[in-house]
Amino acid sequence: MGKRVLLIEDEPNIIQAISFILSRDGWTVDSHADGKTAMAEIARRGPDLVILDVMLPNRSGLDILQDLRADPATEALPVLMLTARGQKRDRELAERYGANRFMTKPFSNAEVLESVRQLAGP
């Protein structure tokens, strides 16, 4: 099973919470907070899974998701989208652009852990 997650999120409390939850489960969690440089960070780190916030500084998580799916190197990379806005439109766009799972904030620790485990596969 893959054990490396890249969390692309700009809220320190969310970064801390998710890092704690996943680290305790044996994951290595790296974080990045800037949408503009997110694609370069994904290429540099080569994560097994990406947790991607919709609203990021300098570039939308939905734009990043489209780039991930358009690139053969990352088209199959599991992506869990996070958003503080649970609007139907955000969810529909995330699904259309290829998100594997969509989660609204606030979320439960168990929900994050279960989603990451399922997306990472056996």
Q: How many whole angstroms separate alpha carbon 103 and alpha carbon 65?
A: 15
Distance CA 75, CA 73 (A): 6
Per-residue pLDDT tens for 2-54? Answer: 599 999 999 999 999 999 999 999 999 999 999 999 999 999 999 999 999 99
Q: Is the pLDDT of residue 88 over 90?
A: no
Separation CA 20–CA 40 (nearest Å): 25
Q: Supply the pTM of this predicted model.
A: 0.95
Please give the distance of CA 14 from its chain centroid, rounded to a whole number: 12
For the chain, which domains are there? 4-116 (3.40.50.2300)
